Amino acid sequence: MRKIPKVALFLETTSSNDRRVFRGIVKYSQHFGPWVFYAKVHPFFMMRGRNLWRKKILVELKKWQPDGIIAHVDNQKANDLLEFGVPTILSSFVEPDCPGSYTYEVNPLAVGQMAAEHLLERGFVNFAFCGYNGVYWSDWFCNAFVERIAKAGFQTYVYELQAPAPKDFIREDESLIGDWLASLPKPLAVMACNDIRGQQVLDACNLSQFTVPDEVAVVGVDNDDLICDTTYPPLSSVFLAPEKTGYKVAGLLDKMMHSRLRIAPQKIIANPTHVVTRQSTDILAVDDPEVAKAVRFIRTHKGGFRRVNDIVSVTSLARRELERRFRKVLKKSIYEEIRRVQMERMAKMLLETSMPIRQIASALGYSSGKHVERPFRKEKGMSPAQYRKTYASK
Following DSSP, what letter does each residue of 37-58 receive, concatenated? EEEE-STHHHHS-HHHIIIIIH
d(CA 283, CA 265): 45
- Please give the pLDDT value at position 3: 83
Give pLDDT, residue 44: 47
Measure the CA–CA gap between 121 and 130, rounded to whole angstroms.
Answer: 20
Instruction: Give the residues across from 275 on adjacent strands.
Output: 238
- pTM for this predicted structure: 0.80
pLDDT at position 237: 97
User: Homologous superfamily of 6-106+241-271 in CATH?
Assistant: Response regulator (3.40.50.2300)
Name the CATH topology of 108-240+275-281.
Rossmann fold (3.40.50)
**Positions of the chain with pLDDT lower than 70, given as ranges:** 1-2, 41-50, 93-101, 162-172, 302-305, 393-394
DSSP character for 197?
H
State the amino acid at position 188 in one-letter form: L
**Per-residue model confidence (pLDDT) at position 72:** 87
Helices (H), 165-239: 174-182, 195-208, 225-228
SS3 (DSSP) at 188: strand
Q: Which CATH topology does 289-391 take?
A: Arc Repressor Mutant, subunit A (1.10.10)
Q: Where are the domains of the chain?
A: 6-106+241-271, 108-240+275-281, 289-391
Q: Identical fold at 6-106+241-271 and 108-240+275-281?
A: yes
